């Protein structure tokens, strides 16, 4: 087996163990605050979901440009964990400490994470551009949910969350864009961050904010990259 292929397979396995370790840690958080501190279950569930956004989806996406040479492996990892999350929902035996029966956004998060990386990396052969949308849904949407949950103790779309999201996503867009070799991509990264922040407030039926953030920011980055490479 090629040494690079073996290395990337090892990284997939390592990230899988890391992700499920984070999930198990959030179960301990749930048990502590619900059973010992008697906090509202829905509040802790929502906190846990955003912790997973940041510490699993976010920290892993930061490593993608360093450890993977092709976009196929992040996509494969994304599809596998999407299937796992979907099976838990479909079986009715959800991981109750961060999943809810009436919301499958954890499934869309996992899928869109990998799809955005694959499409942008394939088209422009640039991992830094590719990881921007999943970074937006991991860190940007993550901090948005934490702020709203802390302030209102429920899931809502108050604009205060979008202010915090913009403060997180704009530096991400600028920095990752500046690491690419595509002209003016730092500015397009800022534009993508602003558009992503705007679309976070909306959900259209089964199309949730994870999907809208990823699609809208991917379109902006695609336009910017096309102009920059023209």
Task: Supply the range of the domain harboring residue 52.
Answer: 3-229
Predicted confidence band of residue 189 (pLDDT cuts 50, 70, 90):
very high
Distance of CA 57 to the CA centre of its chain: 5
Does residue 174 or residue 102 have the better pLDDT? Answer: 174
Q: Are the C-beta atoms of 133 and 192 separated by less than 8 Å?
A: yes
pLDDT for 82:
96
What is the per-residue pLDDT for 230? 64
103-131: b (≥16 Cβ within 10 Å) or e: ebbbbbbbbbbbbbbbbbbebbebbbbbb
How far is it, in rounded angstroms, from Cα 150 to Cα 82? 28
Examine the pLDDT at 42 and tell me if it is beyond 70: yes
Termini Cα distance of the chain: 38
111 pLDDT tier (thresholds 50, 70, 90): very high
State the pLDDT at residue 187. 96
Judge whether residue 120 has pLDDT over 70.
yes
Q: Specify the number of domains making up the chain.
A: 1
Residue 1 has pLDDT above 70, yes or no: no
pLDDT at 229 over 90: no
Closest CA to 210 of 35, 85, 123, 27: 85
**What size, in residues, is the chain?**
230
What is the pLDDT, as a whole number, of residue 156? 81
């Amino acid at each position: 087996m090629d040494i690079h292929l073996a290395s990337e397979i090892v990284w997939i396995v390592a990230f899988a163990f890391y992700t499920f370790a984070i999930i198990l840690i959030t179960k301990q958080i749930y048990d502590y605050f619900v059973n010992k501190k008697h906090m509202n279950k829905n509040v802790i569930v929502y906190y846990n979901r955003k912790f997973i956004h940041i510490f699993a989806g976010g920290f892993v996406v930061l490593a993608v440009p360093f450890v993977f040479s092709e976009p196929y492996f992040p996509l494969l990892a994304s599809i596998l964990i999407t299937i796992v999350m979907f099976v838990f929902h479909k079986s009715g035996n959800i991981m109750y400490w961060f999943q809810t029966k009436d919301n499958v956004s954890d499934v869309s998060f996992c899928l869109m994470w990998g799809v955005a990386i694959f499409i942008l990396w394939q088209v422009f052969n640039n991992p830094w551009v590719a990881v921007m949308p999943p970074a937006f849904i991991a860190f940007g949407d993550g901090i948005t949910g934490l702020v709203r949950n802390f302030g209102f103790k429920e899931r809502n779309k108050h604009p205060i969350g979008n202010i915090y999201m913009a403060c997180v996503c704009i530096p991400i867009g600028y920095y990752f864009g500046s690491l690419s070799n595509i002209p003016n991509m730092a500015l397009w990264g800022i534009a993508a961050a602003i558009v992503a922040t705007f679309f976070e407030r909306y959900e259209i039926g089964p199309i949730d904010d994870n999907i809208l953030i990823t699609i809208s920011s991917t379109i902006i980055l695609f336009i910017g990259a096309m102009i920059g490479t023209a």
